[in-house]
A and B are shown apart, each in its own frame.
Chain A
Amino acid sequence: MALVLEDVSLQIDRNPILEQISFRLPIGQVLVVLGNSGAGKSKLLEVIAGLLKNQSGRIIYGGRDLSALSPQERKIGFVFQDYALFPNLTTEENILFGLQARQAPAREQAKWLKVVTTELKIDHLLKRFPAELSGGQQQRVALARCMVLRPEVLLLDEPLSALDAASRERLALLMKKIQKKYRVTMLYVTHDHNEARFMGDQVLLVDQGRVVQMGSPEEIFSRPVSRFVAHFTATRNILPGRIRERCGDGQALVEVSGAQLLSTSFPVRGEDVWVCIRPEHFSFVEASSEKSDENLISGYRIAQIIPQSGATVLVELMNRRERLMVFASNRRVEDQGLFVDNEVDIVVAASHVHCLPRQPEDIYCRPE
C-alpha cells in the first residue's frame, strides 16, 4: 500500500509547472517536499488534492487511481499556508464544515469534534472567530478541520512558516505525534531543512517542477546528487577537489585544498570533483589525539565564531586558499579554549566526505 505518482505533469496556460513527477510513498510515512519558492511544491500538493487537474500521469492511492476523482471524492486533507480558515465562521463551525458538507449525522459530528479538539488542545476556543486566535491556534484549528474527516492523506503547505520559533517547535512536535498516532500518510512542504529532517521519513527535492532527488533525510543531506542539492541542504563546505587514487576497498584518496582526504562516496569515473562536507561532521581535536580512521585537517586558523540558535556556534576557519565552516557546541568551544586567530586541527570521517562529479566548466562557488 502506497501513494504513487506516475509521470504527473501539469501545465498552466501552456507553461510547464510540474514535469513528470514520479515517486512512491509507503502509507503512513511522511514525505517532506523541499524546494525554492516557485519550484512547484504547492502546485504538487494541489494536484494530489485534485484542486488542479494534471494533464498527464496518474495518482494512485492504495491501488486506486485518484486522477479522475473530484477533490470531494478523494479522502485527502489540505492545510494551507495561510490556514484558510473561514473568517465568518467560529472555530467550531470551521471544524465541522467538512462533516456538514458530507451531511454526517449530528452524533458523529459531536463525537469527532470532541476527540479532535481535545487532542489538539483547542476545546476552549470553539466559540471564537479566526480573527480572535493567535497564529498557532489558527494552525491547530486548520489541522483539526482536516483531522475530523479522518483523511487517508494529509497535505501540509508550509504549515509553520508564519509562526514564531516557540510555536513552531510545539506544533512540529504535535504534528509528528498525531501523524504517528493515526498513521496518516503525509506530504509536508517546507523550505526549512531542519524541519525537513525532523518531520520526514522521506525527502523529495523539487526544482523547476522536476524531482531532483528523493531519499531518506540522511541520504539527501549527506549524499546530495548535485551541487544544487548540496547548496540547498546547507552543506556549506563545497570545495573543488581531485581524486588522486581509487583504493579499491570502497575508498578513494581525494586532494582538496592541499590536504589529502579519504572518501567513501565518490563517482566511478572522472577526476575533478566537488567535495561536500557538512559543517556538523567536523570535529575539533587536540593535535596529539588523532584517530586513525578519520581524516585530519590542519593548518587552519579561526576567523570568526558565529553564535547559532541552541547551544551551538558556527566556526569559520581560513587557510591561505580556502574557508571551512564547522559547527561546534558552545561547551566544546569553551573547554578547548577556541579563540579567533587560534590555529586548530579538525577531523572528519571518510564516510562524511562526499564527492560529486565536477564538469571542467563549472564555476567554483565559495561557501557563503
Chain B
Amino acid sequence: MTMIVLGAGLFFGSPFLALLHSFAAADGFGALLNPQILLVVGTSSVPALMATGLAAVVGIALGYHFTFRKKAGGRWLKTFFSLPLVLPPSAAGYMLLLAFGRYGLIGAPLYQTFSLQIMFTTTALVLAQFFVITPLMMQAASSAFQQVPESLVKASHSLGADEYTTFVKVLLPLSRPVLVAGVITAFARAIGEFGATMMVAGRLKTIPIMIYVKAMGGDAGVADGLSLLLVLLSFLVLFLVNFLGEKR
C-alpha cells in the first residue's frame, strides 16, 4: 500500500517539478509579461466567462427540470444532455463545425441570409466551451437541488408559494454553495478547454492552444508561463470548491 502511494506521488509530482524546473530555466516569468501573451489571457478569459454565464443559466434550468419535473423519457433526455461530458472534445468540436460552419446545417442558412459567420470567431469559442461545460453545470445543479429536503419544497407550495417563488426563496438560497462551486468548476473547465475550442478557433489563440503551439514550436518560456498560470488557477478552484463544500 505504502509503495503504491509513494509511487503515485512520484509519478503525479514529476510533471509539476519538471514544469517548475523548466519555468525557472527558460525565464517563463519574463515571457508571461509579454503583451502578446497578456492578449492571449484576455482572449481566453472573455469567452470562458461568457460561456460560464450562459452555462450557469441553462445548466441550472436543465438541472431543475430533470430534478422536479420528472416526465416519461426524462432519463434518456438527461443522458443525452450529459453526453458532452464523455464525448472526446475534438469530436465535439468537429460536430460543431458541421453544424455551425459556413457550409454547415445551421451555419449555411445563417451565412446566406444574414452573412453571419460564427466559426473562427469569439462566438465560436463561446459555443464550443458552452457545449462542453453545460452538462457539468447541469449535474452540479441537479445534485444541489436534490440535497434540499423535499419537505421544504412541499412546505413552500402548501404555504401558497408558486413554483417561481419557491425557486427564488427556497431552492436557490439553500443550494447556493453547491451552485457557486459548480460555476467555478465550469469556468476552470471552460478556460482550460482545448479539443473542441481548437477545432473551431481558426487563428484565435486561447491559453491551452498557445501552450500547444509554443510547446511544439520549442518556445518553452511562454508554454511554461501559461502552464503554470493554469496550474495555479486549478489549485485556486479546488481550494474554493472545498471551502464552499465545508461551508455547506
A contact set with B: CB distance below 8 Å: 46, 49-51, 71-72, 76-78, 80-82, 84-88, 97-98, 101-102, 145-146, 149
Contacts and interface: CB of A to CB of B under 8 A. Distances in A.
A51 B150 CA distance: 11
B156 A51 contact: no
Q: Which 8 A-B pairs have the closest CB atoms?
A: A98-B159, A84-B155, A101-B161, A78-B158, A84-B151, A71-B157, A72-B160, A80-B151
Interface in B142-179: 149, 151-152, 154-162, 165, 169-170, 173-174
A242 B155 CA distance: 52
9 contacts: A50-B157, A72-B157, A72-B161, A72-B162, A78-B154, A80-B151, A80-B154, A102-B160, A149-B160
A130 B207 CA distance: 48
Contact of A51 (B158, B160, B170, B173): B158
B174 A97 contact: no
Given A50-B157, A51-B158, A71-B157, 20 more contacts: A49-B158, A72-B157, A76-B158, A77-B158, A80-B151, A82-B149, A82-B151, A84-B151, A86-B152, A86-B170, A88-B174, A97-B159, A97-B161, A98-B159, A98-B160, A101-B159, A101-B165, A146-B159, A149-B159, A149-B160
Nearest to B151: A84
A145 B161 CA distance: 13
A81 B165 CA distance: 23
A359 B159 CA distance: 49
Contacts of B159: 97-98, 101, 145-146, 149
Contacts of A80: 151, 154-155
Contacts of A84: 149, 151-152, 154-155
Nearest to A49: B158
Nearest to A93: B169
A113 to B, nearest CB: 14
A102 B158 CA distance: 12
Listed residue (B155, B157, B161) with the most chain A CB atoms within 10 angstroms of its CB: B155
Contacts of A87: 174
A145 B158 CA distance: 11
Contacts of A101: 156, 159-162, 165, 169
Contacts of B170: 86
B161 A78 contact: no
What is the size category of the interface that chain B forms with chain A?
A: 10 to 19
Contacts of A50: 157-158
A86 B149 CA distance: 10
B160 A46 contact: no
Listed residue (B151, B152, B160, B170) with the most chain A CB atoms within 10 angstroms of its CB: B160
Interface of B: 149, 151-152, 154-162, 165, 169-170, 173-174
Contacts of B174: 86-88
Contact of B156 (A46, A97, A146): A97
A78 B170 CA distance: 17
B205 to A, nearest CB: 44
Contacts of B151: 80-82, 84
A88 B173 contact: yes
Contacts of A46: 154
A86 B151 CA distance: 10
B247 to A, nearest CB: 13
Contacts of A51: 154, 157-158
A95 to B, nearest CB: 10
A212 B19 CA distance: 75
A97 B169 contact: yes
Nearest to A45: B158
A64 to B, nearest CB: 17
Contacts of B149: 82, 84
Contacts of B173: 88
Contacts of A77: 158
A97 B169 CA distance: 9
Contacts of A72: 157, 160-162
B70 to A, nearest CB: 10
A147 to B, nearest CB: 12
Contacts of A88: 173-174
A81 B152 CA distance: 11
A242 B170 CA distance: 62
Contacts of B169: 86, 97, 101
Nearest to A80: B151
Nearest to A13: B70
A82 B162 CA distance: 22
Contacts of A78: 154-155, 158
A71 B174 CA distance: 22
A86 B174 CA distance: 9
A187 to B, nearest CB: 13
A167 B157 CA distance: 28
Contacts of B155: 78, 80, 84-86
B179 to A, nearest CB: 14
Nearest to A81: B151
A49 to B, nearest CB: 5
Contacts of B162: 72, 101
Listed residue (A82, A86, A102) with the most chain B CB atoms within 10 angstroms of its CB: A86
A106 to B, nearest CB: 17
A107 B132 CA distance: 51
B180 to A, nearest CB: 15
A38 B152 CA distance: 21
A122 to B, nearest CB: 17
A82 B155 CA distance: 11
